[in-house]
Amino acid sequence: MNEILKCLLEKDINCDPVWFMRQAGRYLPEFQEIRKKNKDFIKLCFNPALVKEITLQPLKRFDLDAAIIFSDILLIPFALGQNVAFKKSGPTLSAFNKERFFSTSVNIFKKCLDPVYQSIKQTRYRLDKKKSLIGFVGAPWTLIYYMLNIKSKGTEVLNKEKKLIKEVIENLNKFICIHIKKQFESGADIIQLFDSWAGLLEGSNLSEFCIDPNKKIISFCKKNNIPNICFPKGIGKNYKEFTNQVKSDGISIDYNLDPEWAADNLKNVCIQGGMDPKIILNQNEKKIMVTVDKYLEVFNNCPYIFNLGHGILPNTRPDLIRKIVERVKSR
């Protein structure tokens, strides 16, 4: 068992594994070269040879404990019949087609996403056996945020269309679990569940649309012995209730959460992340290392995976990522 799995499953506090969200991405010149020649992001995600190459790029530079497959959470709505386009302003989806969404078969869904599973198989074959390969999915609420265009409609739509949203969540849960299992069977040994827009939810809506769906998905993972991490970004001190209810193997914290509060309140779980990626952008190496040391010290007596509180930002200098990894590994 490698260090990251020891941390997640055995709650080992004597190891310091490290990886980064968006470690394969725009801050790397070698990724930019591939992206220039491959303008269609969806097609790129469905190209196993290039996905393998992109996924492994950061591990050629840094002594990371895991690769995370180059993919996107919005491949699930795409496979369920919704057009997805990636623009500079962010992803845009075609109007939600209820009939198409509920009529898509499991076979059509799996066939559409088969290139993802082939990418995982090819990457796992090339990846050092001591390293983990992380697959991932978006949580139902975060997928719905894009699918139903919550950004324009606002969260008041939760009351206006509650029946529809609950039906959509139930159907999404089914296909999310299928996608998780297929990634695991293809060679991913950890699955991370991204609920990037969880912070928009409050009170009973947080329980109904974030905590409960995450809990069902993690229960599925546990029944199938799939190591798992949840990332309900932006929920503040509701992280405690989330962790107690969902019972995931790992919990990724965002940069707005006080790490000392997290260490005191998040129990029986491996904690991951927390450092603000914007700190690396200021290029003040001393400040960066002080912050790295702070997180390592705060979580010294907890099972802890070093990561950021969100993905690596595009203008990040790769040499600073290397120095952070070296700092973590030197402990």
> Two tokens at 137?
């999915």
The total of other beta-carbon atoms located within 10 Å of residue 302's CB is 18
Q: Is the pLDDT of residue 154 over 90?
A: no
* pLDDT-based confidence at residue 157 (cuts at 50, 70, 90): confident
Give the Cα separation of 288 and 309 in Å (integer).
14
Q: Is the pLDDT of residue 228 over 90?
A: yes
* pLDDT-based confidence at residue 331 (cuts at 50, 70, 90): confident
The CA-based angle 123-125-131, given to 5 degrees, is: 75
* pLDDT-based confidence at residue 283 (cuts at 50, 70, 90): confident
The total of other beta-carbon atoms located within 10 Å of residue 157's CB is 16
Q: Is the pLDDT of residue 89 over 90?
A: no
> Two tokens at 125?
């074959």
Give the Cα separation of 224 and 179 in Å (integer).
13
Give the Cα separation of 116 and 75 in Å (integer).
9
Amino acid found at 246? V
pLDDT tens digits for 35-62? 999 999 999 999 999 999 999 999 999 9
DSSP 168-213: HHHHHHHHHHHHHHHHHHHT--EEEEE-TTGGG--HHHHIIIIIHH
Q: Where are the domains of the chain?
A: 3-329
Which CATH number, 1.50.10.20, 3.40.50.150, 3.20.20.210, 3.30.70.260, labels domain 3-329?
3.20.20.210
With residues binned 3-state (H G I as helix, E B as strand, rest as coil), the percentages for the chain, rounded to 5, are: 55, 10, 35
